[in-house]
Amino acid sequence: MTTHPAPPAPPVQTPSGRRRNSRIGRVLGYLATAVASVAVLLPFYWMVVSSLKTDNEVFTLPVRWLPSAAQWHHYADIWTRSDLTTWLGNTVLLSVAVTVLQVLTGSFAAYGFSKIRFPGRDALFLTYVATLAVPWQSYMIPQFVLLSKMHLSDTLWSIIAIQAFGALGVFLMRQFYESIPDELVDAARIDGMSEYGIYRRIMLPLSTPALASLALLTLVNTWNDFLGPLLYLRSSNLWTIQLGLRTFISQYSAEYALIMTGSVLSVLPIVVIFLLGQRYFVEGVATTGLKG
């Protein structure tokens, strides 16, 4: 009877080897993060640098990553050569109004879908959320006809009306409300608190991170919206900054440096708001969908 030699034992990794592998993995992760950060920030850097160039330098080849002479006067000229104050005012007004309405309607509807039991609740919620899969272009014309018959076209009310409700906000808030124990709501009902009181005194204070996330997403989406204002806002005194930047493009030429200057001024408020509220935004995204 022949005996076969036992297979060699696998090498045992020493603690120093594990630390070395962990250090290598950490370094590779930092490098990947750095490369991704550069790829994301590069367009913004190019936009800022282009706002300090002349029109001829913006699209020269090879690309110049620094202006030959910084044209700081563009940031003063754009206020005198355009109605930037009105554009920014309209954009701020629409963004704030739509954000406030979406946060209120989305959180209130989400409370009903999450904590109130009624027949067909889940089916109605799935049907409502399924509207996210329907592209806006498919109902854009009927919506425009409806608002025109309501005499809301060419008014700021048209943008507020079509964006005051959103299925995404309801879905986001409902998923967060699912992490709040039902026992807390039932105890408030036993104590005699109404559904409106539960929503106002319990659900809203506990959902600050989710509300901040929804507010930031809605604010950015409304601020950067171009197609909606393009369809409904025809008067120049109602234009948002996204529409107003088109005035620097004529039939035969375009003032790219001023367009980039306006883009920088348009992006700057969003960046500041995100930096101030990023802690709530990250917390809201991280905790949404966790069942408590």
Crossing angle of the two packed helices 84-115 and 121-130, in degrees rounded to 10: 150
DSSP secondary structure letters along 4-42: PPPPPPPPPPPHHHHHHHHHHHHHHHHHHHHHHHHHHHH
Statement: residue 133 has pLDDT above 70: yes
DSSP 3-state of 72: coil
Please tell me the CATH code under which domain 76-287 is placed: 1.10.3720.10
First to last CA, the chain: 63
Locate the domains of the chain by residue range: 17-50, 76-287
Model confidence at 250, in pLDDT bands (50, 70, 90)?
confident
Nearby residues of 244 by Cβ (< 8 Å), 6 or more positions away: 82, 83, 84, 86, 87, 262
What's the whole-model pTM score? Answer: 0.80
Statement: residue 277 has pLDDT above 90: no
Instruction: Quick: pLDDT tens for 172-190.
Output: 889 888 888 888 888 888 8
Tokens of residue 167, six digits: 């299925």
Statement: residue 217 has pLDDT above 70: yes
Candidate ranges 86-100, 161-175, 178-192; pick with highest mean pLDDT:
86-100
Statement: residue 101 has pLDDT above 90: yes
pLDDT at residue number 292: 46
